[in-house]
Amino acid sequence: MNNLYIVLGIFFLLLLFATLAVIKGKGIVIKLISLAVYLGVVGFMYVKMPNAFYPTLILYVVGPATLAGVLWHLIATGDEDTSKLNPTNDLRLVATNGSIVIRGVNSGVHILAGSGAGKTSCIVYPILKFFAETKRTGFIYDYKDGELTEIAIPLFKDRLKIVSIHRPDISTRVNPIDPKYLTDEKSINSIVKVLLNNLNGVDASKGGDNNFFYDGAESLFSATVLAFKMTHPEYCTIPHVIAFLLAVDFISKSEEDLAENERQAMPKLNRFLTMNKRVQIQASPFLLGLGSERQSAAVLSTLANALRKVAYPDSFWALSKNELDLNVNSPDVNMVISFLNEPKNAPAITPLLACLIESTMKQMMVRNCLPSFIVEDEAATMKQLSLAETVATMRSFGTSTIYCTQDISQGNVQYGADGYRKITANLSTQIFGKANDPKSAEFYEGYSELKKDKTFSKTNSGNALFGDGRQSTTQSEKEVATIRKHEFMKFKTGTFAIFSAGKQKIMHFPRPNIEVSPLPNTDNMRANIELNYNDIIEEMLAYAENL
């Protein structure tokens, strides 16, 4: 009888560990072997002890061993992930093969996955849901024309405001250079640099033959913004500045200028920029070149060529009035903004959204405000100023940054390889989905834990033809990644490798049941939009007449 109990105990342990291996085993081979062991033990008991198999062995050996294995897995996972869980800063992601807790979501999350990997539904949606449940404020950059916004509306409800330059019928109007957001020249220069960098697709700091004209154009735009802020705050909007610089004829000279033998190029613009010493200092790179009419025209042409891309009625409507406050994490505001882009017209929209986002982030950098978030989908489609430093700083203000993109090539093109790595280094949690690009897969592999891999090599010595040869075997070890780059390229939709707090897990996420609220499709404002566009141009022409 004692021997029987020992045998049943061995069977119990075999079934328990086989159950655990089926659930937690790494790789399909281990899972299949474990399943074979499980079925083999059950089959052996059925064949050798048919009379006791049902119900005795099922109820007292097979069932309890299987249940114990499942409970062991759940308890172990729970102990690892939920101990001392911070409900407002620790995010739990639940998958079919367990769960993982991202501790300290304010430290930032980097999501990198190719198209079709399921990052929006499997990763971004649970994160947005967590932010909604914890009552966070913040903003969303929705590159895909409302895909994120439609799932964010049911989550944030009335707290969500939409800013969509290409959809004025659903957009809230906002002025990113309202004087209340521009504390001084530093804030003006940063917003102008973001706008022009995204318009030109270049970074002036990298040097080049066009730096002189670029710097002159930037100084002219910044000085114009500062002049309107100080003397005519009602004109301190991007549409008014664009209309002033593009619609007014600065080349031609008035009769008074000709009568006074005015030799300087663009006398009207010169008077505007020298009315105030602070404005004159900001405009100095442009003003110093006014002695040469060709040089001044080249600078103005450089700026005009950039600004014409965003000079259209919809942008003038969206950015010429303030209907919301960009201090989103202020207790008095407490809102979420979704900035919509449109891929087919991105070159005409992205620079303005980058400007809006820069202004919003500046307002969020205030201590003792509400917990907030930044979610940027296809984030590398726009260039943000000093993003790596901003991400590192935002966490100290209680802001979580979720940075999503498809592959590292997008980030490398926008920021350079070193610049993009600097950004990702400031995001503590890395989530990688299916890689479509080998370089992205290699980048993923760099985060994977290392394991020792044994290799064997055989060498022959002597004359094997006459039977006196000798064979020796050499064993060596090398460290290799536990998740290889070819595995990342084979990930299925919903499969992600998560690296957080020194731990790594491959998680398989089911497609969730997401409530979607479609955006309305009405546009009955066209006449008002065209009228607003013409009114702004006429205002600037009338203002310039008095210069």
Question: What is the distance between the alpha carbons of residues 203 and 197, in angstroms, rounded to a whole number?
Answer: 6
pLDDT for res 205: 45
Q: Is the pLDDT of residue 110 over 50?
A: yes
Query: In Å, how far from its chain's centre is CA 250?
Result: 41
pLDDT band of residue 208 (cuts 50, 70, 90) is very low
Q: Are the C-beta atoms of 481 and 91 separated by less than 8 Å?
A: no
Residue 489 in any domain: the answer is yes
Domain identity same for 200 and 243: yes
Which residues constitute the domain of residue 213?
A: 185-313+528-545
Per-residue pLDDT tens digits for 451-465: 777 666 666 665 555
Q: Is the pLDDT of residue 207 over 80?
A: no
Residue 105 in any domain: the answer is yes
pLDDT for res 121: 93
Q: Which of 6-10, 171-175, 338-342, 524-528 has the lowest mean pLDDT?
A: 6-10
Give the distance between the most distant pair of CA atoms in the chain.
Answer: 123
Question: Average pLDDT, stretch 491-499?
Answer: 94
Domain identity same for 305 and 217: yes
pLDDT for res 177: 97
Question: What is the distance between the alpha carbons of residues 248 and 268, in angstroms, rounded to a whole number?
Answer: 10
Question: Average pLDDT, stretch 290-298?
Answer: 83
SS3 content of the chain, % helix, strand, coil (to 5): 55, 15, 30
Backbone angles phi, psi at 254, to 5 degrees: -75, 170
Q: Can you state the angle between helices 438-445 and 408-415, rounded to 10 degrees?
A: 90
Q: Are the C-beta atoms of 384 and 357 separated by less than 8 Å?
A: yes
pLDDT for res 178: 96
Residue 356 in any domain: the answer is no
Domain identity same for 21 and 140: no
Q: Pick 237 or 440 by higher pLDDT.
A: 237
Q: Is the pLDDT of residue 494 over 90?
A: yes
pLDDT band of residue 296 (cuts 50, 70, 90) is confident
Residue 286 in any domain: the answer is yes
Residue 90 in any domain: the answer is no
Q: Which of 82, 109, 142 finishes a domain?
A: 82
The mean pLDDT of the chain is: 87
Query: In Å, how far from its chain's centre is CA 355?
Result: 16
pLDDT for res 14: 82
Nearest 5 degrees, angle CA 424-CA 27-CA 451?
A: 55
pLDDT for res 331: 95
Q: Is the pLDDT of residue 184 over 50?
A: yes
Question: Average pLDDT, stretch 527-547?
Answer: 95
Question: What is the distance between the alpha carbons of residues 97 and 95, in angstroms, rounded to a whole number?
Answer: 5
Domain identity same for 71 and 111: no
Number of helices and strands in the chain (H, E): 23, 13
Q: Is residue 402 within a helix (H) or strand (E), and if so which, with residue range?
A: strand 399-405
Q: The tokens 């002890």 sit on which residue?
A: 49
pLDDT band of residue 79 (cuts 50, 70, 90) is very low
Domain identity same for 412 and 495: yes
Question: What is the distance between the alpha carbons of residues 391 and 387, in angstroms, rounded to a whole number?
Answer: 6
Question: Average pLDDT, stretch 103-117?
Answer: 92
E strands, 85-125, are 91-95, 98-102, 109-112
SS3 94: strand
Per-residue pLDDT tens digits for 240-290: 999 999 999 988 776 565 555 456 678 889 999 999 999 999 999 999 888
Domain identity same for 142 and 238: no
Q: Are the C-beta atoms of 432 and 400 separated by less than 8 Å?
A: no
Q: Is the pLDDT of residue 56 over 50?
A: yes
Q: Is the pLDDT of residue 204 over 60?
A: no
Residue 378 in any domain: the answer is yes
CATH number of the domain at 402, please.
Answer: 3.40.50.300
Domain identity same for 126 and 227: no
Look up residue 379 and give its two tokens.
């984030």
Q: Is residue 233 within a helix (H) or strand (E), and if so which, with residue range?
A: none
Domain identity same for 489 and 474: no
Backbone angles phi, psi at 326, to 5 degrees: -75, -5
Percent of the chain's residues with pLDDT above 70:
88
Residue 355 in any domain: the answer is no
Q: Pick 318 or 385 by higher pLDDT.
A: 318
Domain identity same for 503 and 376: yes
Q: Is the pLDDT of residue 400 over 90?
A: yes
Q: Is the pLDDT of residue 198 over 60?
A: yes
Residue 247 in any domain: the answer is yes
Look up residue 27 and give its two tokens.
């790789």
Question: What is the distance between the alpha carbons of residues 140 and 148, in angstroms, rounded to a whole number?
Answer: 8
pLDDT for res 260: 56
CA terminus-to-terminus distance, the chain: 110
Question: What is the distance between the alpha carbons of residues 23 and 127, in angstroms, rounded to a whole number?
Answer: 26
Domain identity same for 437 and 459: no
As for how many domains the chain has, the answer is 4
Domain identity same for 58 and 108: no
Domain identity same for 410 and 462: no
Q: Which of 2-11, 31-40, 78-87, 304-313 has the lowest mean pLDDT?
A: 78-87
pLDDT for res 211: 67
Q: Pick 64 or 364 by higher pLDDT.
A: 364
Look up residue 106 and give its two tokens.
């304010």
